Every structure is written in C-alpha cells, then in structure tokens.
Structure 1
Amino acid sequence: MKATYKKHILNFKRPSGTSRGTLRTKETWFLILEDKGKYGVGECGLFRGLSYDDVPGYEEKLKWVSENITLSLQQLLNELKHFPSIQFGLEQAFLSLNADHPYKLFQTPFVNAYKPITINGLIWMGDIDFMYEQIQQKLNEGFFCIKMKIGAVDFDKEIALLQSIRNRFDKDEIELRVDANGAFSTVEALDKLRTLSTLDLHSIEQPIKVGQWPLLKDLCARTPLPIALDEELIGVLDVTRKEELLQMVQPQYIILKPSLVGGIKGSQEWISIAEKYNIGWWVTSALESNIGLNAIAQWTSSLPINLPQGLGTGALFTNNIDSPLEVKDGGLYYSPITEWDENLIENLCT
C-alpha cells in the first residue's frame, strides 16, 4: 500500500463573515491511498485558527502517515490523537479504498434511494441588508430551518432582523438557529439569551468563549434558550474528559464536526456520552470540499437523525470538487444521475 497527500486551497465565492473574522480561502489536504490498483481518498479538513491541529508540523505529520501507512488503522489513529482532521481523512481514505465505489462509503437510502438529509440554510455575517438578502434567498430555496451567525454587528439590529422573520413566519413554519461563536461576554450573555428567547428560536451555538466550564454550566442551567456546544468540544480528546464536560455543563445540545473532533470514531464517542445524559446533537461540516462533505453526509445518513443537520456548505467555493451532492428544497441529496470524475483520484495524485 502507498499513501500520498496534496494541499488544496478552496476559494470562497464571496467573503464570508464570522465573529472571528472574514473568510476568503480555506486550506484543506487530500490523503490518497493506493493498493493493488485500487484507490481511496479522504480529506483532512484543517481549519486555520480553529482546528486543534492547527500547529507547526501538520504537513510533517501527513508525511509520517504516508511513510507508515502499512501500520493498522487503529495504530495510525492512536498516533494521530492530536491531529483530529488527519484522523478523519484517514478514516475516509480507508473507507474509500475498501468500498466497491470510492465515493460510496455507506450504503444508505441517502446514497442509494435519493433520500435527502434535511439541512439548515446558513446565513453569514455582514451588513444587515446582506444578511436579509441571504435569508430571502434561503426562504425562496425552500429551507424551513435557518441558521444565522450573530455577534459581529449591532445586537439590536440582529434582533430586529430576527424579529422581521418572526413577524412573517412562526416557529412552526421556520425554525431559527443562531450561532454566536463565543461572541458574548459572560456578563451580558444571560440577558442576551433572554432577549433572543422571545423570538422562539430553536437554539444558540456557543454563546461564550470556550474553556469557562463553571460559567457555562451556570448559563446552561439558567438559560431560557437551548444552548448547543460547538467550539467547546474541540481539543477535548479523551473519553473521560468528554464525559466530564457533558456531565458538568449539561448543555441542551452538542454539535459534531468530524474534522474538528477526531472523525467518525471521535464523533461516535461524543454521541454515546450525549445520549447517556439526554443531550441532543446534530452534525455539521466545517467548510470541507465536496470530498469531505460527501463522507460526513454519508456517515450522518447512517445515524438515527431527527433534526436538520448543518451540511449545506458545498456551494460556497469557486473551485470545489464536482460531485453528485446537490441542495434543493432545504435538503442535501446524492444525485443518481451525476457521476464523480472517474479520474479524480488519479488527478489528485499528480
């Protein structure tokens, strides 16, 4: 068996705003396996400024993987404990190599029967007119669940924007989620949650900065609006530590980004613990190309999901990998008539 890797820079169609800044490009890496003429591919979705493995030596670790690919998958994953995005890329690559079709990793109705995964429509930060324009577009595209990033512009204006949606659609018609990306101070967080709760929102992601477990525990106990932990999960590697977090904080939801929390194995650990404590969950992509998004979506489709997932990011880039994935009517589909480029993996190797 041989392994190679290749860097790829994804370019946003238009700059996308978050409370951490504006994104224009997204770095990612492809890991390609070859064994007896068969190929497999996975995506190591490094997210600069957010990933736990955004550290010096990332490419050197990929080189180590390629030089030691004959070790067992479990041995490799153990060695990659501090590189969750490479763990996930490796899991994908082995699934791809061992599958009958290199991009059909899980045999589910999503892949085989054109059954959609319900997803949320993502609204990026910007001026109020731009955000309202995005909302109108998502509503026109048939989304009934909309997720809006907040915390970078005037809070009162954000509230007014959300209120304008609620004036037109009640919670049974449009589900609204917001994502603060840790933008609220601990002093103001509870008051802001109370204000937001008057708008019949589904939940808020990561209201305060990570690492403040006692304060987060108090906030989750007192909040009138369900809280979902997102960035809080990043870098919590050991199962014991994962359980300590969820047992102590008792959030209403957790959000799983496989590229950031150790791939399928790491995500399954979080799910098992969350269900033990009656904590809800959903899966979200982290700006991967369509290779990584495809793997996340297919894995997600194998789970007992009952909430809209966060898997609608494939159309953000000008130079994404062409794929059968398509978004319509508020769902992600795997098209039965669109094929992957049959030379894609070989092209990635060159």
Structure 2
Amino acid sequence: MSPPEDLELEYRSFSLPLAEPLETADGTIESRDGFLVRLVDDGAPGGTGPGDGSVVGYGEATPLSGWTESREGCQRALERARDAIRSGGPSEALEAVDRQVAARHALALALADLQATRESTPLYRYLGQGPMVGRVPINATIGDGSPAETADAVRTAVDRGFDCCKLKVGLRSVDADIERVRRVRETVGDGVELRADANEAWTYEEARSAIDAFGDLGLSILEQPLPAGALEGHAALRDLRTGVSVALDEGLLEHGVDAICDAEAADVVVLKPMALGGIDVARKVAAWLTELDITPLVTTTIDGVVARTGAVHLAAAIPDVPACGLATGDLLATDLGRDPVLFEKGSAVVPQAKGLGVGDVWGER
C-alpha cells in the first residue's frame, strides 16, 4: 500500500439504532456506536473529494464489546492517528493504532479506499489483483426460536433466494437444537446448505452429541461449539469424522493461525475485519489459511455500510470463498448512507465503481 502523503484525517461519531434489540452474552445491543473516518488528499489529480482535485477515502470504526477496544479507546486512537498522519504519514498513523483494532480497521480501510480510487479500480481488485468478480455467495443468519419458528424463518430465507442458512444454537438444550435442525432439514430438503453457530456455548460432551446428530442431518459447518480456549477439544471434534466441518471464530483472536494449525483444530476460520484490525490484515490471514488448507470465510460485526461494503470487497478478493455472513444491513434501523451492494439470489453483487463505491457518506447525515 503506497498512498499519497500530506493527507488530512477527519472523523465524526455516529449512533445507528438497531431495528430490534439484539440479545448477546455480553448484554443487549440497541445501537451500534462508532466513528466514520475520512481521509482527504487535496493535492491529488482527478479526485472525487470536497475540494478541486482531491481524492477521498472512507473508513469505519465500530467497536464491539468482547471483540475490540472500547468506544473511548477507539476515539483516543483516532486522535493519535490524526496527529501521526500529519507528522509522519500513513505508516506512522497505522503504527499509532496498531493495538486498537477498530480504529486500525477504519484507518486501513480509508487508506485502501483512497488508493483504489486513485488507481480507478474497485477495492477488491486493489486488494487481490485478481479477475473481475461480479458476486460473492452469502448466507442468511437465523436466530433462536422453536423448531417451527426456525423452520419458518429458513423457509422465508430460501424463498428470498438463499441456499445457505446459518442457525444460531446454544441457547437451548442440545436436544432442542438438534430438533430445530431436524425440523429445518425436513422442511427445506437436502438442497439447502445448513450451518450452526454455537458461540462457545457447549461442553465437549454436549458438542459431541450435537455434532454426531448434525452429521446425520447433513449440517455442513458447526461454528465455535466450545469456548475459544479449547483448541484440543475442537481438534477432537474434528477427529470424530462426522462430515461436519469445525469452524473457529473467537478462537482465531485468542490463539492465532499458527496455534490453530498446529492443533489441527479447524476446517474453517471466520474472519471479522473489524476485530482483526482491517481488511488488509484479514486478506493476509485469508491467504495464509488457504495455504494451510483451512477455509476462510468473512462475516461482519453488525457494522455500518462503510465497513460492510469493505467486507464484501474482502470476500470478493478471496478466491473460491464460501458463503459469507455479509447480509446484516437489515439489522440496522438507520445507516451511514446508501448501500451500494445489491443482495439477490443468495449472493452479494460486488460494486464495480472505483474504491469502495459507497459515495459521499460524509455528506449523508
């Protein structure tokens, strides 16, 4: 990455209410609060920014409890980045926020957006230097509910064009979750890919009981069935050879790729760009995982449109990426701007405009 010098970094806070409150292990989320970042190079030719000849790059920092720094820590980091980019340029600014992953995500995304815009190329091609990608596959996420409610929700998603659905499990007994998956499979048949995400909810014995039953029901991926620290337990679940791939999400942040590989603890690893510190970091991790024969897939953390669109570009930069968790905009009641990504027939249509393609989100509010 070699963005121009003499950049100005600006940021402003936002609060995006959710369409409905979301219950999590860390409490109820009613809004997503963070910072919109804008980088401006007023001396660049052929620009699109606020001044004549300027180029702009946008980023987003949306902290999430348990995954990133606090909102206060994020703001302090952005202040450091603003000072550092004036005195030392992009590299010094990135170094100033290296330990604050949400702030670094915003800065790295803005730098990448700015440079891809300068090069008149879509962001995914700037990240991956690969061929044109028109679409990336996506999954629908189905929350907790009774067997009948879950089956109805999956049927609705399938009617909307999704052929991959991820069910949230772990809030009920294992037997109840097995029954939910069974009812869904009976309802939609074998043509729909089903996954489950337990969010660290189970003991090893519970997870073993679940994965044995899920194998018979044709579940493709079981995500984070055990606590993040239980690499050996996840490896033991893989050794059962049930046909269900074991995915790690929280486990990646706790252990890193090397430890996961050494323990042979995962078939799939989930990449959350906001939690990893940027789409540049996530892209490198994806390439590393692929070399190790571990499948990377991309999800968001209920982000605004700037970060979500960045995640879509990241997924498009990963060859043969499986269905990703990118269709989360509907969880928000309001957003930072117009969503440039069209979701249809179980896929995200990748923006082909230069850079992110989100337009002038700075002037939206």
Q: Structure 2 length as normaliser, TM-score?
A: 0.83
> How many Å separate the matches in 1 of 2:318 and 2:103?
22
Cα distance in 2 for partners of 1:118, 1:341 equals 20
Q: How far is 1:261 from its partner? A: 1.3
Letter in 2 for 1:243: D
**Aligned match for 1:14, one of 9, 15, 20:** 20
Gaps of 5+ in 1: none
Change (3 A) 1:103 1:130: farther
Which of 174, 183, 194 is the matching residue for 2:192?
Answer: 174
Distance 2:286 2:358 in 1: 34
Partner of 2:172: 153
Which residue number in structure 1 is paired with residue 101 of structure 2? 84
Q: Which amino acid is the alignment partner of residue 202 of structure 2? A: F
Q: Which has the higher contact order (CA 8 A, sep 6+)?
A: 1
Would you say 1:2 and 2:8 are equivalent positions? yes
Q: Does 1:329 align with 2:334?
A: no
Q: Which residue of 2 aligns with 1:123?
A: 142
Residue 270 of structure 1 corresponds to which residue in structure 2? Answer: 285
Matched, 1:43 2:46: no
Shift of 1:316: 1.5
- CA RMSD in angstroms, aligned pairs only: 2.9
Distance in 2 between the 1:332 and 1:189 partners? 32
Equivalent residues in 2 for 1:1-350, closer than 5 Å = 1-18=7-24, 21-36=27-42, 37=51, 38=54, 39-48=56-65, 50-54=66-70, 57-70=73-86, 71-100=88-117, 104-107=122-125, 115-128=134-147, 130-171=149-190, 173-222=191-240, 224=242, 225-236=244-255, 241-320=256-335, 321-334=337-350, 343-346=360-363
Tell me the amino acid that sits aligned with residue 174 of structure 2: F
The amino acid of 2:83's aligned partner reads E
Residues 144 and 169, structure 2, Cα contact 8 Å, conserved in 1:
yes
Q: Deviations over 1:203-236 (max 9, x none)?
A: 1110011122333333333352211000111255
Q: Whole-Å Cα distance in 2 between the matches of residues 295 and 147 of structure 1?
A: 22
Q: Is the 8 A contact 1:202 1:226 kept in 2?
A: yes
Which structure 2 residue ranges, 5 or more long, are not aligned? 1-6, 43-50
Number of the residue aligned with 2:4: none
Residue 75 of structure 2: SS of its match in structure 1?
A: helix
Deviates more, 1:116-125 or 1:244-253: 244-253
Between the aligned partners of 2:260 and 2:133, the Cα distance in structure 1 is 38
Amino acid at match of 1:312: A
Say whether the 8 Å CA contact 2:267–2:295 is kept in structure 1.
yes
* CA distances 1:25-49 after superposition (whole Å, capped 9, x unpaired): 222321111221332210113112x
Write the letter of the residue equivalent to 2:32: K
SS of the residue aligned with 1:312? coil
Give the structure-1-normalised TM-score: 0.86
Q: Secondary structure at the match of 2:124?
A: coil
1:334 CA drift (Å): 4.3
8 Å Cα contact 1:18-1:125 kept in structure 2: no
